[in-house]
Structure 1
Amino acid sequence: MTASYTPMMEQYRDIKSKHPNEILFFRLGDFYEMFFEDAELAARELEITLTSREGGHNIRVPMCGVPYHAVESYITKLINKGYKVAICEQVEDPKQTKGIVRREVIKIITPGTILSELLLSETGNNYLVLLYEEDDTISLSAADISTGECLWTLFAGNSRLTAVCDQLFRLMPSELVTVGKIHSLDTISSFVSQRIPSCAQTTLVVDDVTQAEQLPQRHFSPEELPGNPCVLSSLGYLLYYLHYTVKNDLSHINRLINLDTKEYLVLDAATLRNLEITRNMRDGGRKDTLLSVLDFTKTAMGGRLLKKWMEFPLINPLQIIRRQDAIEEFVQKPTLREQMIEELGKIYDFERIMTRIEVGTASARDLVSLKASLAVLPAIKERLNSCGAKFWLDINLSLNTHANVVNMIAAAIVDNPPLSVREGNIIRQGYDLELDELRSLARDSKQLIQEMEAKEREITGIKSLKVGYNKIFGYYIEVTHANSAAVPPNYVRKQTLVNAERYITPELKDFETKILGAQEKIVNIEYQLFLTIRDYIKERLQDIQLTARQIAQLDVITGLAEAAARYNYVRPQLNHNSEIIVKDGRHPVVERLLKREMFVPNDTTLNHNDSEIMIITGPNMAGKSTYMRQVALLTLMAQTGSFIPVREASICTVDRIFTRVGASDDLATGQSTFMVEMNEVAQIVKYASARSLIILDEIGRGTSTFDGMSIARAVVEYIRDKVGAKTLFATHYHELTDLADTSRVIKNYSIAVKERGSDIVFLRRIVPGGADKSYGIHVAQLAGLPKRIIERAQQVLQELEASKSIVSVSQQSREQIAATSTITPVSLFSSSVADEILTIDILSTTPLEALNILYRLQNKARKETGSI
């Protein structure tokens, strides 16, 4: 038997049936209520009381609720946990409706469509990404509805899956939507789950394909629209989803950007992670990242743009130089820079304020913040009048001060309005005549009552007559029974008391109507005036959005100039010789973390002539990884237009930076440290070009010595012969240094070490030549291993070196090798004694000198073999 519910519960069930994947917040009076499974889920997740309600015919249904005025905090909790929320409001006035008030879902809040300031990162974008595949081509479309940005890019060929994952890692979406069939979707979903765990994943079913196909033309100009049908479909489905959830015209999404990989330095997911450019590897936060060092922006808009610039560095030298010229001018004009920083500090996030104005959620406080922000622009333009760099000239020329908007808000909105726009007290006195009259009436009502009371006493002669008010009967004239004979005929009896009668007069009734309706009218008039002002600003949406983007650029350049001045950064020169030449380069992050010591700078020379591959040997903890990351970060900074921490530098633009640094595993997908390492190396050698920069650290350590060294050597040779990329290759396999003997483009470098007896000091300097020791036991001692372990390790090392057990091969094995191969056996460990013997000029050495040499070499050999 089918349960029979109350009309209100049937209304709820009908609406809920259309939103099975969202938690339905159903408005009842001053609360949003949830019922059935939604109530049980919300009560558990929000830790609120689960009750029940009569549903009809003695059926009780689970129920919980939250007050409407505090709903944002509860929605925030649910969205952060990956849920979606549908807001169902009353769309009719209950006072004018008979029966059930009509309700509709006015918006659906998902992780990718949030607009609440509580949920949004101030300096980060909140992207919703949609993937659509057609004919082995994947189109990625993304939008941040809080700022109005819309991006697209297209991936084709065998590398499309990797490229999609890399782009997702750069954008860090909060929600990923897929449409139709996508090959390798499981791989993409697994990557998102592992690398972007906070990203919600949604499958979209498009009910009206025709409507979706028409949406791009409504939002973007014809010259912005791509010709590729796959991209157009992707954009249409993205906008369709946004309209379905936000339920607004979304006219603020009006600018389309193509993320063309040919225009940007490509950073894959591994490089972004390893170099800790905008997120650290520890917890994904900003602390101790390159972004945290360079971010001197003063506005939220500038903070978001700086992050984009660092994740999408430029390739075009002219665009880089344009930024450099602007930074240089502000470095050379410290007073102007300081003044600009001060002005920027007064600007609110009016890019997102304009979005709230467009979707109808802006408050009066938002308008006051917009006014304060735009009011700064004349001073900024005045500062820019003294600038000569083309970047500043272009900004100044196109920067609109929007004086009309500033003046309107200043004239209409009070300085400190309440948060709600439906409670009054937001419009200034003197802005609207009718509003002023009503306010005067409401404010002076007490005095008017006293004047009316005095007037009636004089007319009737009743000295004890009183004019009063209560909530049930309204305004009244009260006369004691003793004076009832003096009551005028125009008095109408309203209520009888024990000792008195209460009356009403036409004049008092009119007064009551005015007074009681005044406050309600005041609130309604103020709200309508607010809507008029908001609509006026909305008409200028695109112009103010453009201003917001210009302020963001101005803020980023000013901040980079501040970083350059504060940290003693230098403008790098750009060259077309495919060279990276750095003099006294410093790691931009590490040098900021050092408190009690100076950072040791180092030089770098990379080119395609005689230093294409740098093989770097030396002990752990000596600075190899820091040095290699440093070169990559300096190159990246240069291509964002930033100045860099060097004495001088000449850098060519690179198309990609690849890094394989450190040891990590991916146990969730069953990949060991070594497998992760090999996967990353495979991606590097597959996609790198002669214009790329490759950073490889300790390839082959996750397997046996012979396997690891063989792989490392093969990788270096492949890069040398097939790729031709500028490469920094750090290794513990000293045997690889012999590659420099047979190749013009390979150079050996090592970390300088100073020995003091049994102690060592890492000098942090990169010097020409290879290292002949790893100093592993010394590093273990520095790490704090117990003395007994250190002593035992030294003993074992001496035994191994004495017996040559690691590399010894039986005579029989050697004979077999000689019989089956023409390859000459190579010792895995070099000997300093042998090296010195090879340098002796025997023919010119006297017998006495030869005897001294022999004595010295014998002592040295004893030390190396542990015989003494």
Structure 2
Amino acid sequence: MATNYTPMLEQYREVKSKLSNEILFFRLGDFYEMFFEDAELASRELEITLTSREGGNNKRVPMCGIPYHAADNYIAKLINKGYKVAICEQVEDPKQAKGIVRREVVKIITPGTILSESCLPDKANNYLALLYEEDDELCLAATDISTGECLWAIFLGSSRTNTVCDQLYRLLPAELVLVGKLDGITAITSFVSQRVSTCAVTTLSNADLTVAAELPHNHFTEEELPTNPAAQAAVSYLLYYLHYNLKSHLSHLNKLTRINTQEYLVLDASTLRNLEITRNMRDGGRKDTLLSVMDFTKTAMGSRLLKKWLEFPLLNPITIAKRQDAIADLLDKRVVREPLKELLGNIYDFERILTRIEVGSANARDLTALKTSLSVLPEIKLTLQECQSQLLTDIGMAIKTHVDVTNMIDTAIADNPPFTIREGGIIRTGYDLELDELRSIARDSKQWIHDLELRERETTGIKSLKIGYNKVFGYYIEITHANSAAVPPNYVRKQTLVNAERYITPELKEFETKVLGAQEKIVNIEYQLFSVIRDYIKERIGEIQQTALHIAQLDVIISLSEAAARFNYVRPKLNQTRDIIIKDGRHPVVERLLHGEMFVPNDTELNHRDSEILIITGPNMAGKSTYMRQVALLTIMTQMGSFIPVREASICPVDRIFTRVGASDDLATGQSTFMVEMTETAQIVKYATANSLIILDEIGRGTSTFDGMSIARAVVEYIKDKVKAKTLFATHYHELTELADTSKVIKNYSVAVKERGNEIVFLRRIIPGGADKSYGIHVAQLAGLPKRIIEKAQQTLHELEQGKLPAIPMPLPTNEQCNEHAAVTTVSLFSSCIADELLALDIMTLTPLEALNILYRLQTQAREENGSL
């Protein structure tokens, strides 16, 4: 039997039936209420009291609620836990409603559409990304609605899934929307869960492309729209999702930009992670990253742009040089740089303020913050006239001062307005004559009541007579029962109390109507005036957004010049000879972390003549990884246009940087450390070009010595013969240093170590020549292994070096074809009965994984022949 609920709950159920999995915040007076399953869920997740209310037929239903003015904090908690929230408001005046007040969902808040200032990261974007695939074309559309930024990209070929994952790692979207069938959906969702774990994944299944296709034309110019049909569909679906949830015009989404990988140095997810450019590997935060070292921005807009510059370094030397010129200009003019820093310190995040104005959630304090921000623009333009570089000159000319907006806000909005816009007090006195008159009435009402009370006491002779007010009965004259005989005949009884009677007079009633009407009119007039001002600004949002972009660019340039001034950075030269030449280079992050210790600088020279591949040997902890990362970071800094920590440098832009650094596994997908290592190596040799920079650290350490050494050697030779990329290759396999004897493009380098008896000192210097020791036992001693273990290890090492122990802990071949080697105590890597098959292999065409499979098969065969299987 169906339950007959109260009219209000029936209305709630009707609204809820149109939602999918959103938690419904249902407005009742000053509260958002939740009922049924939503109440149980919200009370648990928000840790608020679960109560109940009468639902009809003497049945109670679960209920919980929150004050509407505190909703942002509660919504943020739910969003951070991956939920969506639908806001249902009253959409008609209760005074004019016939029956129950009409309510509608006015917006749906998701992780990618949240706009509350308290819920957004100041120095990072909050992207919503969408993926759509059609005919092997994987399309990405993304937006940060809090700033108005819109992007799109298209990925083709067999690598499209990997490439889009790399892009998602850059964007770090708060929400990913999937549309239609995606071939790489498993790989994408697995990557998101592992590397972008805070991203909520949504499936859009009810979108009408016919309706959605019209939306891009309402936001962007025809020149900006992609010509590719699949990309057009992705942008259309993205806008459809936004309009469906936010139910607003979203006119601030007015510029669409393509992510063109041919314009940027490509950094895949592994490289971004390994080099800790914008996020550290420890907890994903900014601390101890390249971004944290270089960020001296004064505005949130500038900080977000600096992150983009770091993640999207440039390829075009002309554009790079323009940024360098601007940094040099400000570096030489401290008297210009310092005033600009101070002026930028007065600028709020008006990029996001504009969005709140567009969607109607801005308050008067947002407008005063916008006024404060815009008011410093004339002085910034004037100060930039002292600069000569083209980029700074262009920025100075492009910045508009928006004096009309500043003057309107200054004239209309009070200096310290209240937080809400429905309580009055937001419009400045003198702006509107009618408003001033009503305020005068409201302001003088207390004195008028006081004067009336004194006059009535004197007229009636009742000294205890008093005039009061409450929301239910309005104004009244209260007289105790003891004085009832003295009540004048024109007093009309209004309310009876235990000890007194309350009356109203025609004069007091007229005053009440006037005062109460004035208060209501004040609030309405102020809101109307505020709405007019807000609409005036909305018409100029596009122009002010462009100014915000120029301010962000200026902020980043000042930040980079400040870093150069503080840390003694030098302008690198740009060359077209495909060389990377660094003199006395320093690691930009590590040198900042050293306290009371000087960072040891090192030289680097990579070219395609005689130093294409550098094989670097030396002990752990000596600085090999720091050195290689340093070269990669200095290259990235150069291509973003920054100065770098060197004595001098000449660098040719590279198209991609690949890194295989450290040991990590992927247990969620069942991949071991070694499998991850081989997978990443395979990606590098597949996609690197002669214009790339490769950083490889300890390839082949996750398997047996012979297997690992063979793979490492095969990888180096494949890069030398096929890829021809500039490569830094760190290894503990000293045998690989022999490669330099047979190739003119390979050079050996090592980390200098000074021995003092059984102790070693790492000099942190990279010097020519290969290392002849690994110093592993010394490192173990430094790590604190017990003395007994160290002594036993030293004894064992000595016996191995003297030939008293077999060098390889495995049986020697006993096959009759290998009898001539039976007496040998140390077996050569390629001296066995399977030599013929090895000699027949073309290892230059093998991938690392193919080499691994062949080695495994040959090893199994050798063991069978030995009788060890």
Report the TM-score, using the length of structure 2 for normalisation.
0.91
Measured against aligned partners, the alpha-carbon deviations of 1:283-335 in whole angstroms (never above 9, x if no partner) come to: 00001000000000010000000000000110011110010000001111112
1:409 matched residue in structure 2: 409
2:756 matched residue in structure 1: 756
**TM-aligned CA distance change 1:429 to 1:775, over 3 Å:** same
SS at match of 2:178: strand
CA distance, structure 2, for counterparts of residue 616 and residue 633 of structure 1: 18
2:586 matched residue in structure 1: 586
Q: How does 1:607-622 map to 2 (within 5 A)?
A: 607-622=607-622
1:309 matched residue in structure 2: 309
> Could you tell me how far 1:268 is from its partner in structure 2?
0.3
Please say if 1:572 is aligned against 2:572. yes
Measured against aligned partners, the alpha-carbon deviations of 1:129-171 in whole angstroms (never above 9, x if no partner) come to: 1000000110000000100100010000111011011111111
CA distance, structure 2, for counterparts of residue 12 and residue 781 of structure 1: 70
Please say if 1:184 is aligned against 2:187. no
**TM-aligned CA distance change 1:317 to 1:818, over 3 Å:** same
CA distance, structure 1, for counterparts of residue 399 and residue 14 of structure 2: 51
2:219 matched residue in structure 1: 219
2:202 matched residue in structure 1: 202
CA distance, structure 2, for counterparts of residue 333 and residue 39 of structure 1: 61
SS at match of 1:566: helix
Contact persistence 1:493–1:504 (CA under 8 A):
yes
Contact persistence 2:460–2:487 (CA under 8 A):
no
CA distance, structure 1, for counterparts of residue 124 and residue 219 of structure 2: 24
**TM-aligned CA distance change 1:802 to 1:101, over 3 Å:** same
1:100 matched residue in structure 2: 100
1:420 matched residue in structure 2: 420
Measured against aligned partners, the alpha-carbon deviations of 1:217-239 in whole angstroms (never above 9, x if no partner) come to: 11101111110000000000000
Contact persistence 2:813–2:832 (CA under 8 A):
no
SS at match of 1:437: helix
**Amino acid aligned to 1:611:** S
Measured against aligned partners, the alpha-carbon deviations of 1:89-145 in whole angstroms (never above 9, x if no partner) come to: 111222221222111111111111111122111000011110000001100000001
1:848 matched residue in structure 2: none
Contact persistence 2:442–2:518 (CA under 8 A):
yes
**TM-aligned CA distance change 1:438 to 1:769, over 3 Å:** same
Please say if 1:468 is aligned against 2:467. yes
Measured against aligned partners, the alpha-carbon deviations of 1:581-616 in whole angstroms (never above 9, x if no partner) come to: 000000000000010210000000001111100011
1:292 matched residue in structure 2: 292
**Amino acid aligned to 2:139:** S
Structure 2 runs not aligned, ≥5 long: 822-830, 840-869
**TM-aligned CA distance change 1:495 to 1:609, over 3 Å:** closer
> Percent identity of the aligned residues?
73
Please say if 1:602 is aligned against 2:602. yes
1:805 matched residue in structure 2: 806
SS at match of 2:213: helix
Higher mean C-alpha deviation, range 270-279 or range 449-458: 449-458
CA distance, structure 2, for counterparts of residue 499 and residue 694 of structure 1: 92
CA distance, structure 1, for counterparts of residue 38 and residue 60 of structure 2: 15
Contact persistence 1:387–1:393 (CA under 8 A):
yes
SS at match of 1:94: coil
1:253 matched residue in structure 2: 253
**TM-aligned CA distance change 1:814 to 1:559, over 3 Å:** farther
Higher mean C-alpha deviation, range 811-820 or range 358-367: 811-820
Deviating 4+ runs (over 3 angstroms): 449-458, 460-467, 472-508, 807-825
**TM-aligned CA distance change 1:59 to 1:662, over 3 Å:** same
1:685 matched residue in structure 2: 685
> Could you tell me how far 1:490 is from its partner in structure 2?
7.0
CA distance, structure 2, for counterparts of residue 623 and residue 814 of structure 1: 45
Please say if 1:333 is aligned against 2:330. no
Contact persistence 1:449–1:467 (CA under 8 A):
no
2:794 matched residue in structure 1: 794
**TM-aligned CA distance change 1:230 to 1:824, over 3 Å:** closer
**TM-aligned CA distance change 1:481 to 1:167, over 3 Å:** closer
2:825 matched residue in structure 1: none
Contact persistence 1:467–1:475 (CA under 8 A):
no
**TM-aligned CA distance change 1:45 to 1:494, over 3 Å:** closer
2:278 matched residue in structure 1: 278
> Could you tell me how far 1:507 is from its partner in structure 2?
4.0
1:628 matched residue in structure 2: 628
SS at match of 2:280: coil
CA distance, structure 2, for counterparts of residue 481 and residue 733 of structure 1: 106
2:4 matched residue in structure 1: 4
CA distance, structure 2, for counterparts of residue 75 and residue 100 of structure 1: 26
**Amino acid aligned to 1:714:** A
Please say if 1:440 is aligned against 2:440. yes
**TM-aligned CA distance change 1:616 to 1:14, over 3 Å:** same
**TM-aligned CA distance change 1:500 to 1:41, over 3 Å:** closer
1:321 matched residue in structure 2: 321
CA distance, structure 1, for counterparts of residue 25 and residue 745 of structure 2: 67
1:138 matched residue in structure 2: 138
**TM-aligned CA distance change 1:3 to 1:759, over 3 Å:** same
**Amino acid aligned to 2:269:** A
**Amino acid aligned to 1:98:** K
Higher mean C-alpha deviation, range 464-473 or range 5-14: 464-473
SS at match of 1:641: coil
SS at match of 2:584: strand
2:123 matched residue in structure 1: 123
Contact persistence 1:206–1:237 (CA under 8 A):
no
Please say if 1:746 is aligned against 2:757. no
2:17 matched residue in structure 1: 17
SS at match of 2:751: strand
CA distance, structure 1, for counterparts of residue 790 and residue 486 of structure 2: 115
2:149 matched residue in structure 1: 149
SS at match of 1:445: helix
> Could you tell me how far 1:802 is from its partner in structure 2?
2.1
**TM-aligned CA distance change 1:452 to 1:801, over 3 Å:** same
Measured against aligned partners, the alpha-carbon deviations of 1:719-753 in whole angstroms (never above 9, x if no partner) come to: 01000100000011111111111111111111111
Higher mean C-alpha deviation, range 79-88 or range 207-216: 207-216
SS at match of 1:444: helix
**Amino acid aligned to 2:102:** R
CA distance, structure 2, for counterparts of residue 824 and residue 449 of structure 1: 108
CA distance, structure 1, for counterparts of residue 323 and residue 340 of structure 2: 17
> Could you tell me how far 1:569 is from its partner in structure 2?
0.1
Measured on the aligned residues, the alpha-carbon RMSD in Å equals 2.4
> Could you tell me how far 1:411 is from its partner in structure 2?
1.3
**Amino acid aligned to 2:467:** G
CA distance, structure 2, for counterparts of residue 765 and residue 788 of structure 1: 32
> Could you tell me how far 1:797 is from its partner in structure 2?
1.1
**Amino acid aligned to 2:187:** T
CA distance, structure 2, for counterparts of residue 64 and residue 483 of structure 1: 49
> Could you tell me how far 1:499 is from its partner in structure 2?
11
CA distance, structure 2, for counterparts of residue 385 and residue 449 of structure 1: 61
CA distance, structure 2, for counterparts of residue 483 and residue 334 of structure 1: 82
Higher mean C-alpha deviation, range 204-213 or range 640-649: 204-213
SS at match of 1:164: helix
CA distance, structure 2, for counterparts of residue 204 and residue 254 of structure 1: 23
CA distance, structure 2, for counterparts of residue 671 and residue 593 of structure 1: 34
CA distance, structure 2, for counterparts of residue 823 and residue 802 of structure 1: 33
> Could you tell me how far 1:631 is from its partner in structure 2?
0.2
CA distance, structure 1, for counterparts of residue 502 and residue 653 of structure 2: 91
> Could you tell me how far 1:463 is from its partner in structure 2?
8.7
CA distance, structure 1, for counterparts of residue 482 and residue 670 of structure 2: 99
**Amino acid aligned to 2:167:** Q
**Amino acid aligned to 1:264:** Y
Please say if 1:76 is aligned against 2:111. no
**TM-aligned CA distance change 1:194 to 1:434, over 3 Å:** same
> Could you tell me how far 1:53 is from its partner in structure 2?
2.0
> Could you tell me how far 1:58 is from its partner in structure 2?
2.5
Contact persistence 2:468–2:478 (CA under 8 A):
no
Please say if 1:709 is aligned against 2:712. no
Alignment: residue pair count: 824
CA distance, structure 2, for counterparts of residue 283 and residue 605 of structure 1: 34
Structure 1 runs not aligned, ≥5 long: 826-868
